[in-house]
Amino acid sequence: QVQLQESGPGLVKPSETLTLTCSVSGGALSPYSWNWIRQPAGKGPEWIGRIYSSGSAKYNAFLGSRVTMSVDTSKNQVFLQVTSVTAADTAVYFCARGPPFTSQYNYMDVWGKGTTVTVSS
């Protein structure tokens, strides 16, 4: 049974870089896609982007050029990096598994429990 576990610093200072890790157990990264979603307190989820195990990625433009995703297939980990963070980046961040590139449908069927990130000095 595939399980996802997000991890990260918890507290980040404004203007710094946030790096989160999604550790995947019970299954391989390939051939799936991997998504990051965030949810500010009391609000709905926001899709940040997805990355395939090949490294090909798509990002939501609302983060502009501040976001980068990457994978380490040898460690079964997926990474999210957000630069120049502000208070608006405070949220719970989730990683979620998506289907392979060849799938007819998109979906996010396995989710981590999420990690809380607070941006504050």
Partner 1 sequence: AIQMTQSPSSLSASVGDRVTITCRASQGIRNDVGWYQQKPGKAPKLLIYGASTLQSGVPSRFSGSGSGTDFTLTIRSLQPEDFATYYCLQDFTYPWTFGQGTQVEI
Interface positions with partner 1 (CB under 8 A): 37, 44-47, 49, 58-62, 94, 96, 104-109, 111-114
Residue 67 or 71 with smaller CB distance to partner 1: 67
Question: What long-range pairs does 52-61 form, CB within 8 A, spacing at least 24?
Answer: 52/101, 53/28, 53/29
- For residues 56 and 121, what is the distance between their CA atoms, to the nearest angstrom? 34
3-state class (DSSP) for residue 65:
helix
Residue 21 or 60 with smaller CB distance to partner 1: 60
Residue 3 or 30 with smaller CB distance to partner 1: 3
CB of 45 to partner 1, least distance (A): 5
